[in-house]
Structure 1
Amino acid sequence: MSLSRRQFLRGAAGAVATAAASVAEAAAPFAPRENKPLPPKAIGMLYDSTQCIGCKACVSACKDANGMPVEQPQALAGWNEGTWDTAEDLSGKTLNVIRVYQHGTMAEKDHEVNGYAFVKRHCLHCLDPSCVSVCPVSAMQKNPLTGVVTHDPDACIGCRYCVLGCPFNVPHYQFDEALGQISKCQFCQHLLQDNPLFTDNEAALAQAGTSATELWKNSRIPACCDVCPTGASLFGWVNDLQAEAERRMALKPGEMYDFPRGLLGGDRAPNTAPVGAYKPHIYGEKESGGTQVRYLTGVPHEKLGLPVLPNHSSAAVTEGVQHTLYKGMIAPIALLGGLVMLARRSIKGEEKGPHEEESSS
């Protein structure tokens, strides 16, 4: 007896159901795997929204440093005429953007009601990045020493799984290019190459006690932090940036403070200004398993477009499910068993012949 298409699909569905039933007990309950730890020499950024003046110097510097073109939305073409960049959000042409929160009269900065606030958006360089987890060709990689998440366009196949997988909506594809590619902030990786962290990992680990000024004196820092006039975007070791954020939160609103600029621990003159009224949470400390970019804000994070996320990463959940189902090859073996049973039934039917099958029925 030959199987019709309908009979095969019905039998295959039964095999899948058999496989699903056989692994249900093994797959439940499952738990996300552990979040990945902070890399040993993790570099990152502290963005203080209360110190941002919305000048967009960081956006311009990012464009220059990474060779990204001016972006001009069609809605603004009538008056802008291409004279300056007017990117409204991250895209295939914009790796870093300043957005503004507005409410009511916008009378006071960093007030949720009748106020306004700025927020800087770019890659947060997750400790457990989903983009790296879902990339089938390892075009997305996380540096095991510094934690910088990079993209290799030569390895990329354009599947855009990273676009769908990122909980912060950071990677974007260049749809308007014939041979488009993924675009995202890479912490100006090309500007950091002269640093010992990137040229000799063993030597960098041995210099764990070296001051930031000494370690970075022969190389540049990310362009957005380099040009920020107020220190709203501050570069440095993630642990030091976390301590700096906690130090600011412990101060009273309005108290004068010397805000470091450029590199935390560097030799630039600070920006002396009053401390803002911070929300009691450092965004990025735990979101999606933690990130290497931390935020201090005076307006709730969700109002600024920063998503509310669990403390474990998406990668920890999906890989936890996969590892449970595929532990010992339980799921594939069960599915194979169901298909073998279907094939055997087909063979027995052919051996009986049509007349025997009719008489038996």
Structure 2
Amino acid sequence: MKRRDFLKAVAGSGLLIASNPGQAFAITRPPKNMPPEAVGMFYDSTICIGCKVCQHACKEFNNRPAEHTIRPPEMVDRVWDNPVDLSAKTLNIIKAYRHGTGAGKNNEVDGFAFIKRHCMHCVDPACVSACPVSALTKDPKNGVVSYNKDACIGCRYCQIACPFNIPKFEFDEPFPQIRKCQFCNHRFAEGKYSACCEFCPTGASIFGPAKDLLEEARKRLTLNPGDYYDYPVQTVNSNQRLKQKAAKYINYIYGEKEVGGTQYIMLSGVPFDKLGMPVLSESSDVALSEGIQHTLYKGMLAPVAVLGGLLFAVYRSTRNKE
């Protein structure tokens, strides 16, 4: 086959597909909704004290080792955990923001603040969509995005797909796995919940039904700076409360709308982009990509069109030679 004929065949196949653009490319599948019994987590940066008890609890209850990223002084053993970012050893991390003098907590200028990073448990998770073997799945009832090591083939597509850069691969293990927060779902059967929330001393991280967490976040946005408020500890509907003064909040709930919504939401006194959170659209990229893929391959439309064009080109080339 001549190069010119090949290009004509491919172009013709493309025109065939494009002849019905409403069916091929203008398809974005409907967005997914939060599962009716979805659980989640709510982090309030303004009352976080940066103690990192959540980090320790996460490692203890998920059997993750300490991570030594800073070389200790001579003759001092590496006995403390000091990760600088999420990794296969650190599934949950508290990071600090500091500006200027760093004198005022929750101040964008000359202040400091904390942010808690881990899996967002997206309503429409890109990692689940990208995984070719369903090693990552989203529970249809509680919405937790969990990982099955026995199904994983180590392709790491989930790492590339995640807009929050969450899944981490164990490059230093002989039988590596993907590691990420799973809301401590292995504790659910015991009537327990995420360890980071259970051991947070100030109520900065709380667990509970996703709809109740969102309601709690919206309620806090109505507070005036200096108002006293009874902040729930451990869980959103807990009877244990800590009366604290409310800080000035940024009027935005991060995670409520990002990429179609998540089950981990946050409030802060400092803009979230300053805290290292990505600025993302409200629509899910997965809805668009899956819509296009499922339309093109529905009934094998695209492959049949391309194959038909190539066969026709071969036929013409053979006929001309004869």
Query: TM-score over 0.5 for the alignment?
Result: yes
CA contact (8 A) 1:27 1:324 kept: no
CA distance in 1, matches of 2:80, 2:33: 41
Q: Secondary structure at the match of 1:294?
A: strand
* 2:315 equivalent to 1:324: no
TM-score between the two structures when normalised by the length of structure 1: 0.84
CA distance in 1, matches of 2:132, 2:207: 31
Which of 198, 203, 206 aligns to 1:226? It is: 198
CA distance in 2, matches of 1:330, 1:311: 31
After TM superposition, give the deviation of residue 31 of structure 1 in Å.
4.5
Q: Secondary structure at the match of 1:282?
A: coil
Q: Secondary structure at the match of 1:263?
A: coil
Which of 208, 232, 237 aligns to 2:209? It is: 237
Which of 246, 253, 272 aligns to 2:225? It is: 253
* 2:55 equivalent to 1:55: no
CA contact (8 A) 1:61 1:224 kept: yes
Unpaired segments ≥5 residues, structure 1: 195-218, 353-361
CA contact (8 A) 1:49 1:297 kept: yes
Which residue number in structure 1 is paired with residue 130 of structure 2? 134
* 2:270 equivalent to 1:302: no
CA distance in 2, matches of 1:84, 1:11: 67
Which residue number in structure 2 is paired with residue 66 of structure 1? 62
Which has the higher Rg, Structure 1 or Structure 2? 1
Which of 76, 83, 94 aligns to 1:87? It is: 83
Which of 258, 278, 281 aligns to 1:287? It is: 258
Which of 29, 41, 45 aligns to 1:45? It is: 41
Q: Deviations along 1:266-316, whole A, 9 cap, x unmatched?
A: 23x312111111111111111000000110011111111111111111211
Unpaired segments ≥5 residues, structure 2: none
CA contact (8 A) 2:168 2:178 kept: yes
One-letter identity of the residue aligned with 1:37: N
CA distance in 2, matches of 1:98, 1:274: 22
CA contact (8 A) 2:185 2:193 kept: no
Which of 153, 160, 163 aligns to 1:157? It is: 153
Q: Secondary structure at the match of 2:20?
A: helix
* 2:187 equivalent to 1:191: yes
One-letter identity of the residue aligned with 1:315: V
Which residue number in structure 2 is paired with residue 18 of structure 1? 12
Q: Secondary structure at the match of 2:59?
A: helix
CA contact (8 A) 1:27 1:321 kept: no
Q: Deviations along 1:16-71, whole A, 9 cap, x unmatched?
A: 33222222243366143221001010000000000110000000000000001111
One-letter identity of the residue aligned with 2:244: A
CA contact (8 A) 1:110 1:299 kept: yes
Cα root mean square deviation, aligned: 1.6
CA contact (8 A) 2:72 2:78 kept: no
CA distance in 1, matches of 2:10, 2:203: 57
CA contact (8 A) 2:229 2:244 kept: yes
CA distance in 2, matches of 1:11, 1:223: 63
One-letter identity of the residue aligned with 1:20: G
Which residue number in structure 1 is paired with residue 94 of structure 2? 98
Q: Deviations along 1:183-229, whole A, 9 cap, x unmatched?
A: 000010111123xxxxxxxxxxxxxxxxxxxxxxxx11110000000
TM-score between the two structures when normalised by the length of structure 2: 0.94
After TM superposition, give the deviation of residue 13 of structure 1 in Å.
4.3
One-letter identity of the residue aligned with 1:125: H
CA distance in 2, matches of 1:12, 1:98: 56
* 2:246 equivalent to 1:275: yes
CA contact (8 A) 1:26 1:325 kept: no
After TM superposition, give the deviation of residue 327 of structure 1 in Å.
4.0
CA contact (8 A) 2:228 2:245 kept: yes
After TM superposition, give the deviation of residue 178 of structure 1 in Å.
2.2
Which residue number in structure 2 is paired with residue 77 of structure 1? 71
Aligned positions of 1:113-132 closer than 5 A? 113-132=109-128
* 2:148 equivalent to 1:148: no
Q: Deviations along 1:101-151, whole A, 9 cap, x unmatched?
A: 111111101111111110000001000000111110000000000000000
CA contact (8 A) 1:255 1:274 kept: yes
How many pairs align? 318
* 2:175 equivalent to 1:179: yes
